[in-house]
Amino acid sequence: MEEGKELVVMSMKLRPEVAEKVKYLAKKADLKPARFLANLVETVVPDLMVCESLGVFKLSVLMQDLKEELKSWSNFVRDEPGNVGTPA
């Protein structure tokens, strides 16, 4: 991080198992978890911007949406084996 730059505070919620992994990795990097996450975001965002400009970012969002829909459908099929199809 460059000295003298204004910072914006952002917060997030993580699943406990993810938070533990972040803490573990931050400790390995000799950083506080917040600094570790800030470094990670600062490193990844430029790559995401390139992906967005190429249209890959939108595709990845669509793929994530599809994954969630398929997960919902498979849970429905598992819970209602006699009703193969989409939930009402």
If you search the block for the tokens 């993810």, which residue do you land on? 18
Question: Residue 4: its pLDDT value, please?
Answer: 67
User: Residue 1: is its pLDDT beyond 60?
Assistant: no
Token code pair at residue 17: 């198992």
pLDDT in tens, 34-83: 999 999 999 999 988 887 888 777 787 788 888 888 888 787 777 776 66
User: For residues 79 and 48, what is the distance between their CA atoms, to the nearest angstrom?
Assistant: 37
Question: Residue 84: its pLDDT value, please?
Answer: 61
Within the chain, residue ranges assigned H as helices are 16-28, 33-54, 56-79
Question: Residue 50: its pLDDT value, please?
Answer: 86
pTM (predicted TM-score): 0.59
If you search the block for the tokens 């992906």, which residue do you land on? 51
